[in-house]
Amino acid sequence: MKQIEGITFIAFDLDGTLLDSVPDLADAADKTMHALGREGVTVEQVTTWIGNGADILIGRALSRSIEVDPDLDPALHRDARQLFDRFYEEGGHQKSALYPGVKATLAAFHAAGIPMAIVTNKPAQFVPHLLEQHDIADYFVDVIGGDTFPLKKPDPFALNWLLEKHQLHAEQMLMVGDSRNDILAAKAAACYVVGLTYGYNYGQPISASEPDIVLDHFSQLTEVVTLGH
């Protein structure tokens, strides 16, 4: 298996990478549509709509398409987003679960002294609770949500911010994600990137985005990352 040498910092996406969160997201989106008197949505539909943040997820649900209707009423979109946030929070994220091998792999990197960060397009308000809920919050030195900065993935802003903050060369940082947004952001920041096959990528294979390495299981990360200390 191919290895990446000299990594001293790892950034992780959250939904579809560390956490199987689609059941809770789909539940909140479905309740939102029903509350607005619209047809509900399924887990299968929502799985292909995740990845660009809550605003676009709800826009896609209202449009019932990966392409958001350009004529969508902004007031309806805003009301729907508020309902979604409420339902998502009220649900307590009880249906979400870590993917196999996530906690043990994060623990191994942490024990090796590798600082790690979360870089997700999920609204920042929901992220700390999820990390605490699954007992992985202590592994991360930075937690960046989709609204932490003006720009989110696929823009490299957050990754460039991490590089500057931690005084890293781009080749010292690895991005790990399941979506083309993760791959594009990492390439734009000139970082290494691992693509995971099991997450949410609009129904497309992650290999199509040409990450440096494609993995089927999260635990395989310990086989490909040669620690740079």
Number of H helices, E strands in the chain: 9, 10
Task: Provide the β-strand partners of residue 195.
Answer: 177, 214
Catalytic residue among 13, 24, 27, 182: 13
Q: Is position 13 annotated as part of the catalytic site?
A: yes
CA 134 – CA 131 distance, rounded (Å): 5
| Residue 194 amino acid letter | V
What are the CA-CA distances from residue 47 to residues 16, 57, 121, 154, 203 (Å)? 9, 10, 15, 18, 8
The values of phi and psi at residue 85, to 5°, are -60, -40
DSSP string of 137-199, one letter each residue = GGGEEEEE-TTTSS--TTSSHHHHHHHHHTT--GGGEEEEESSHHHHHHHHHTT-EEEEETTS
Tell me the two tokens of residue 98.
């870590």
DSSP one-letter code for 194: E
Q: Are strands 213-215 and 225-227 parallel, antiparallel or unpaired?
A: unpaired
Positions marked active-site: 13
